[in-house]
Structure 1
Amino acid sequence: MASISNDNAPPQVVVFDAFGTLLRIGIRKQPYLQLMRLARECGRKPLPDDARVLMTQELGLFAAAEWLGLPATLPALAVLEQDLFSELSSVQLFPDAVPAIQMLQEAGIRVAVCSNLAAPYAIPVKLLLPNLDAYCWSFTVGAIKSEPDIYQQVARQLDCPLSNLAMIGDTLEADCLGPRRCGMQGFHLSRDGSPTADTFTDLRSFARFVLDIV
């Protein structure tokens, strides 16, 4: 059974990852990945931090293309813009997302989301989950998970010590191990895996676990 470390107090806030945890993309087009490939085809040499820059600056698709040195008149960009719209329009909540959030909020636990994403992907998150206590995006913080700054920003937004924050997400390093190194309580969501001391297979089970220890 999962457990909270004795060094940590019962959580006052639960922080969820966004995509892969609360939400999923129904039609995957990966326009930003396509954009980086297009830049490479046009002669731009890829840099190691390209993906990080696209997630830590507030860049729409055309602004990202400009940053990559692509002309705004390039016909392929219009196709990528359509792909982006298709992806954003296909975003859906996992069936256990809202029930888990409601369980926590009804018990007085605040709920936040913390995610690495390009700026346009924040739109469906806020449309589908409009009543959370905090939204922490990599492109507004200028840092990505598992860098400490992004977790610290969540704590600042909620005026809550890191030790009172519990995070769960589908990426082990970003959503479990990274938060733990910063003093948070971190847990892994593995929908196709097996439950362990630190891993949950659905969000309802995680919410019940949190409520059992507060």
Structure 2
Amino acid sequence: MMNNQPYTAVVFDVFGTLIEIKNSQSPYKKMMKWLKQQGRKPQPNDAAMIMSLDGNFETLASYFGYQLPSTLLEEMNNALQHDLKHIRAFDDSIPMLLELRKLGYKLAVCSNAATPYGERAQHLLPPLDAYAWSFKVGANKPDPLIYQHFLNQLKCQPNEVLFIGDTQLADVDGPKKLGMSAQIIHRKNGESLFDVLQLLLKK
């Protein structure tokens, strides 16, 4: 439950919270599968590395020390185009952002995302006060650096911020460690942003 603190800002996770991708083709998974076939052992931080590097497929592959064959590159680019075409905002996302803006809240997004996904999502959403994309910050949630990035832009103290997201570690535990309030949204159970934010909206 939310407390009675006077929040001045609401910060959202993006994918699974504001934005969805229908039937994602996961191009980066194709690359990681190919790298494994070449004998490269998967590392626990591979996904975090992909989302914190601002570059294309070739750049990422060279970072891992490989050059992608043209057939795989074409397959990955086709998968990416499919995903970008099927990225959409949840029906309540833009209306809720506009409503919060009207009520005077500062708004931001904080997301672990690979470059093309983040850029497409930002294009779909209305202009916000702050952006903390992992590929721009060079850090992923729950690293405190990424949260501090939007706090600096918003000029807010952590206790003035309510964070909304769909992942416990990244969107609740991480923000709370820094002193923010945080609330999970269960989109898969049909929960809406209004369900999560109704107490805030009634203040």
| TM-score above 0.5 | yes
8 A Cα contact 1:100 1:207, kept in partner: no
Report the equivalent of 2:29.
Answer: 33
Amino acid at match of 2:192: D
Alignment partner for residue 119 of structure 1, among 100, 109, 115?
115
Report the equivalent of 2:151.
Answer: 155
Higher mean Cα deviation, 140-149 or 67-76? 67-76
Report the equivalent of 1:46.
Answer: 42
8 A Cα contact 1:151 1:179, kept in partner: yes
Report the equivalent of 1:211.
Answer: 201
8 A Cα contact 2:16 2:187, kept in partner: no
Q: State the alpha-carbon separation in 1 of the partners of residues 82 and 149 from structure 2.
A: 31
Alignment partner for residue 177 of structure 1, among 173, 176, 182?
173
Tell me: CA distance 1:74–1:45, structure 2 relative to 1, closer, same or farther (3 Å): farther
Q: State the alpha-carbon separation in 2 of the partners of residues 183 and 94 from structure 1.
A: 28
**SS in structure 2 opposite 1:205?**
helix
Report the equivalent of 1:197.
Answer: none
Report the equivalent of 2:182.
Answer: 186
* Superposition RMSD in Å: 1.6
8 A Cα contact 2:53 2:60, kept in partner: no
Map residues 1-214 of structure 1 onto 2, 5 A cutoff: 2-4=1-3, 9-193=5-189, 201-213=191-203
Is there any run of 5+ residues in structure 1 with no aligned partner, and where?
Answer: 195-200
Structure-1-length-normalised TM-score: 0.89
8 A Cα contact 2:10 2:106, kept in partner: yes
Q: State the alpha-carbon separation in 2 of the partners of residues 101 and 171 from structure 1.
A: 20
Deviation at 1:106, TM superposition (A): 0.6
Aligned length: 203
Is there any run of 5+ residues in structure 2 with no aligned partner, and where?
Answer: none
Q: State the alpha-carbon separation in 2 of the partners of residues 99 and 173 from structure 1.
A: 27
**SS in structure 1 opposite 2:187?**
coil
8 A Cα contact 1:39 1:69, kept in partner: no
8 A Cα contact 1:99 1:204, kept in partner: no
Structure-2-length-normalised TM-score: 0.93
